[in-house]
Structure 1
Amino acid sequence: MAQHMKDRVVALAGPRKAAEMAKLVENMGGTPLIRPAQGTVFLDDEVLRESIENWLKEPAPPWAIFTTGIGLEAIYDMAEQMGVLDRLNATLTQTTIAARGYKTVNALKKRGLTPIVRDDDGSTSGLIRALEPFDLADKRIVLQLHGESAPKLVEWLESRGAQVETILPYKHIPPREEDISLLVDEIIQGKVDAVAFTSAPQFRFLADFARDHGKLEAVLEAFRGPVIAVAVGKVTAQGLREEGIARLLVPEDERMGSMMVELGRFFAQSAN
């Protein structure tokens, strides 16, 4: 693999698959720093159980919207533990399914399910565009959220007259303070050349910490140059832009490996 990251330091803000991404950075000649900017915790089993029980009450909801593959898997795992897996499958075969993101679509296909509605760009806005032609008035919709509330999507569904029931298989939590403090200082001091983000909450937690400690403007200034922000996909990029990051890289193929390749290409071009 070309040494496009030679003498470059890359901070990895995503806790998932951090070791794999670190190996990619090393293979391209760079130095990876694992700096988790979020934690993920699965919710209390009782909360998820109750949500699934409500979902499966007759009559079955005519719509289900899934927003992450990992969330769908968590629902299926819990349904299996509860002994209601067959009921869940039966319900979903009678349900109009909408999905956001290719990972969600793949997770559904693995279960023999095909979404009737899906986004065109991996974003919540794309999902809303895809839902616009449908009459949702007075329709009961089960919405699987992705680690945090989704006020934009919920508000839009309710504005169309839908009855929205949310199910939250997991939620994002802040990282350890010492981890995020170290990353903030490394960004401000220019000790990293790039920071790779794999979800929008990662930068939001970073920005919140920096804001609380009077360092947000210094962080934003660093990201104007020389530090470059990298987002794994459009949803993550949207979250960064909302927090004031305009200069960032986003791969066409929304995968972690593609993100590292895109960053390597950027460094190679910068060196010329």
Structure 2
Amino acid sequence: MGKGLNGKRIAIGASRKTEEMSTLIKKQGGIPVVRSLQGTVFLADKKVGPDLQAFVETGADWVIFTTGIGTETLVSLAEKLGIGERFLKVIRQAKAASRGYKTISALKKFGITPIAADEDGTTKGLIESLASHDFAGKRVMVQLHGENAPSLLTFLEEKGASVFPLLPYQHVAPDQETVALLCEELLNHEVDAVCFTTAVQVRSLFKFAREKGYGEKIVQSFQDHVLAAAVGKVTAEALKEEGVKRLLAPELERMGAMIVELARHYEAEKDLSGKEV
């Protein structure tokens, strides 16, 4: 294995498998620093229960599911509340849309075939598949996972829909001191790249930065000095939505592939310039 990350300081935004990622970065000659942006995602059964009850009572014209685990969790929670069959009846009667192949597989278990679905696993792809449908005056339930999907919710509201979000899982923000430290490192050009493994990590960083008044400066840091690395399409999409245009993501959506792609990027830059950059 080469040393494509020689001397590069690489921040890791994940909270899981950080040791494995650190080892891969070191093997490429890099210096890993763990700056977890993940926070905690927990089952919010007590909070979502009343919303689930209300949804079953009122129904919807459309139901949009964004994750397989979230879809299955809503059905499971409905069963615990004694409204499982009623919940399934309501979502089967509505027009359904889904994001991601795991979501389609989950819906298939319950006898539901979405009439709209993305082609690439992204929210952008899902929105494109929904663009030709009429949502004016329609009630739309959107299953979310741990965080809001601002672009999807905005799209539906602009199309005239009445949006009813259901979040079976809630997100608790990461340690604020850790996020503040990474922001400082980004602004001072003390890291060369940041590895993001989920969209939640991206949202956490930029939400904190905006609240502190330097969101635009963080975006500029990524544009000018710091390379953003995304593990896959959904994470890359979140970065783009936050204004980060200079980023890389491997075709194979794996953490190891992301590190290798990062090393290749710096090797290519070195080859072009004739020296390390």
Q: What TM-score do you get using the length of structure 1 for normalisation?
A: 0.77
Change (3 A) 1:211 1:271: same
Change (3 A) 1:227 1:132: closer
Matched, 1:171 2:170: yes
Change (3 A) 1:127 1:213: closer
Change (3 A) 1:44 1:214: closer
Change (3 A) 1:66 1:238: same
**CA–CA distance in structure 2, aligned partners of residues 218 and 156 of structure 1:** 27
Change (3 A) 1:128 1:218: closer
Match of 1:133 in 2: 132
Match of 1:64 in 2: 63
- What is the CA deviation profile of residues 53-92 of structure 1, one whole-angstrom value per residue up to 9, with x for unaligned ones? 223337x534210123343243244234334445444544
**CA–CA distance in structure 2, aligned partners of residues 258 and 90 of structure 1:** 42
- What is the CA deviation profile of residues 22-43 of structure 1, one whole-angstrom value per residue up to 9, with x for unaligned ones? 4543554544322112413436
1:117-266 to 2 correspondence within 5 Å?
A: 117-210=116-209, 219-266=218-265
RMSD (Å), alpha carbons: 3.5
**CA–CA distance in structure 2, aligned partners of residues 218 and 148 of structure 1:** 24
Deviating more after overlay: 219-228 vs 180-189: 219-228
Among all aligned residue pairs of Structure 1 and Structure 2, give the percentage whose two residues are the same amino acid: 45
Q: What TM-score do you get using the length of structure 2 for normalisation?
A: 0.76
Uncovered stretches (5+) of structure 2, i.e. residues with no partner = 272-277
CA contact (8 A) 1:14 1:35 kept: yes
CA contact (8 A) 1:43 1:168 kept: no
Matched, 1:104 2:113: no
Uncovered stretches (5+) of structure 1, i.e. residues with no partner = none
What secondary structure is seen at the aligned counterpart in 2 of 1:148? coil
Change (3 A) 1:163 1:210: closer
CA contact (8 A) 1:68 1:146 kept: yes
Change (3 A) 1:140 1:111: same
Change (3 A) 1:2 1:94: farther
Matched, 1:35 2:19: no
